[in-house]
Amino acid sequence: MLLNPVISKLVGKRVVLASGSPRRQDILTNMGLRFEVVPSWFKETLDKSTFAEPHDYAIETAKQKALEVARRMYLKHHITPDIVIGADTIVTLEDSILEKPVDKQDAYNMLSRMSGKEHSVFTGVAIVLCRSENENELETDVIDFYEETKVKFADLSEELLREYIDSGEPMDKAGGYGIQALGGMLVEYIHGDFLNVVGFPLNHFCKKLAELFYPPPKYTIQRIKHDSIPYVETFEGLSDVESESSTHIQCPKATNTLDTNDLASDAKTHRANGSTTPYTCGQMSAENSSNAIVFPSKMTKLLDGFKASKALFVACRLKVFDILKERGMLRAMDVAKKRNISVTGTERLLDVCVALGLLEKTHQAYSNTDLANTYLVTDSKYSLHDYVMYCNDHVWPFFTNLDAAVKEGTTLHHGTFCKNHEHLLQDSQNMLVKQRLSAMHSFVKVTGRAIATAFDLSKVKSACDLGGCTGTLAHELVQIYPNLRVTVFDLPHVIENVSSFQPLGQCAAQVAFTKGDFFKDNLPEADLYILSRVLHDCSDEKLHTLLTKVSDSCKPGNLLLVVEIVLDEDKRNPRALLQSLSMTEGKQRSGSEYKHLLQKYGFTNVQIKITGNILDAILAIKE
């Protein structure tokens, strides 16, 4: 096999090895592959007894290592690698899995058991293909395989064993030996791939790469049609005559090539929707497609979007993610028992969460992904659980009346979060203020840092966050700017309920809370005024009242920071436009519209920062 063509396909791609093993690094480097090393943080705690074969355990461990690195790079470092390679090597003797010894005694026990016997070395390898083209979500496809090599040890003397163990070499190697170094003197013979015993089956890996980049030529694919049975692809050697006379449409297999991302995406959607019909190509020639219409994947996503969101809401309501974080990997019946609910219904919900990328499934046991642990577990620092529940309890019902709102030109509801006064009074009476505050608090915990760092505010000494709710953004600001003091100005019944949301520490003293109505009362003095998610919800009359008050309170050179979703000029951002459907009297605006609006009230040098987060930032100076 020619390896250079395969390696050349990876030039310019971000290839990551999810292993700190110097042996694996050497093997891949020697083949000419350029890659970066990001050791996996995956804890190798999988229950070996749940795997039917030893190689299944090695494959699953390799896959979890690679997926952990891919998700960590994407979530924490905002990097999408092209390919992540994970590997795990185990040694088996008489159906027992021998991994790395924990100490010298453990090494001695392993090696003495293998003395004079044949054992197997398995390496599981996972190749994770990553992309984040649509909706800023990480999508992955996993290709995995394993290699087995038989190794026979000579009869080992006690002295040889002790000397080898004292060398220190066995301590970081599966089975307690390294065949490429001193451990080679223990080996009588091997059957299979030598490099597999070292830690990485290079030949098998290259073959997999070749399958990905060089799928079988079309003349090796034959479609056999039977009555009432879908087309079946068989790889047989057809004669030239047969292949040339074939009129069947040749459809590349999405799982075998990196050059069919769109096709793979459509196929993935097709599978995720639970379809049992055979998947067909998204593009066909006109002469062959007259009787074949492929349902568009984008339409499928739109139609099923509400189902996915409701599944997320229910999983959060049941606190599935809390259970799995606390207990680790659980079967559906264990989760159902914890919540005293149907096992069948629980299994269906968990499988949906796996398909949505919120859970992982390993041999009928479920566990959280990093995404779930970070944003959906209730005690996580950046938990969005309360915001998800707010969407379920309040936003979801509003949108059930969308048809009437569109026909009548009315609004879906009156008020959002803690920005609209009349609705907050009603919420206060209905004991819902804390739920709304908690939702806003979790939302700003995730978005606050991007807003606080959008502009350099180091010269600002005092700020006033108008309608700042629990002060989450204020606390982010004082952490970044230690000399800054922030006053949170909000309605009395809001301020009375914020104590439970306050952090401990020195920064807490730099944030003060003042009761008031920014439409009616005088505003506290400040160098910087903040309007976070306020302007979009105001009618023209209220907008004029508020911006006039802020402008009058500003001295020349004072700043105004507006935090909103900023529409693109062509107004094609679906999330912002969907948000506008639930508006009250206000509206969403583009950058130029915000700039024109602020200039009307004496604010100049308007700067707009598209953060890439949920909310954007606008900074203006009072002239």
Structural domain boundaries in the chain? 4-213, 216-251, 299-383, 414-622
Residue written as tokens 């309040």? 394
Banded model confidence at residue 136, pLDDT cuts 50, 70, 90: low
Does position 462 have pLDDT exceeding 90, yes or no?
Answer: yes
Angle at 202 between CA 196 and CA 204, to 5 degrees: 90
Amino acid 574: pLDDT: 76
Q: Are 170 and 107 in contact (CB under 8 A)?
A: yes
Phi, then psi, of 99 in degrees rounded to 5: -100, -150
Of the segments 172-176, 395-399, 505-509, which one has the largest average pLDDT value? 172-176
CATH hierarchy code of domain 299-383: 1.10.10.10
Q: Are 345 and 338 in contact (CB under 8 A)?
A: no
pLDDT tens profile 348-399: 999 999 989 999 988 889 999 989 999 999 998 889 999 899 888 878 877 8
pLDDT tens profile 319-348: 999 999 988 889 999 999 999 999 999 999
Computed over every residue of the chain, the mean pLDDT equals 80
Give me the mean pLDDT over the 299-308 stretch.
85
pLDDT top residue among 96 and 484: 484
Per-position DSSP letters for 563-614, written without gaps between them: EEPEEPTT---HHHHHHHHT-SS---EEHHHHHHHHHHTTEEEEEEE--SSS
CATH hierarchy code of domain 4-213: 3.90.950.10
Does position 265 have pLDDT exceeding 60, yes or no?
Answer: no
Window from 245-259, 295-309, 606-620 with minimum mean pLDDT: 245-259
Amino acid 611: pLDDT: 85
Banded model confidence at residue 294, pLDDT cuts 50, 70, 90: low
Q: Alpha helix locations (H) across 462-588?
A: 472-480, 492-495, 540-553, 574-581
**Angle formed by the axes of helices 433-452 and 472-480, to 10°?**
30
Cβ within 8 Å of residue 280, ≥6 positions away = 251, 292, 294
Percent of the chain with pLDDT over 90: 43
416-446: b (≥16 Cβ within 10 Å) or e:
bbbbbbebbeebbeeebbbbbbbbbbbbbbb
Distances from the Cα of 36 to the Cα of 17, 33, 69, 451, angstroms: 6, 10, 12, 32
pTM: 0.52
Per-position DSSP letters for 291-308, written without gaps between them: T--PPPHHHHHHHHHHHH
Of the segments 292-301, 442-451, 519-528, which one has the largest average pLDDT value? 519-528
pLDDT tens profile 211-244: 887 766 554 444 444 443 333 333 333 333 333 3
pLDDT tens profile 97-117: 888 888 889 899 899 999 999
Cβ within 8 Å of residue 70, ≥6 positions away = 16, 18, 81, 84, 128, 130, 138, 140
CATH hierarchy code of domain 414-622: 3.40.50.150
Amino acid 262: pLDDT: 38
pLDDT tens profile 18-77: 998 888 999 998 888 889 999 999 987 788 888 888 999 999 999 999 999 999 998 888
Catalytic positions are: 88
pLDDT tens profile 189-208: 999 999 999 999 999 998 89
Q: Are 151 and 120 in contact (CB under 8 A)?
A: yes
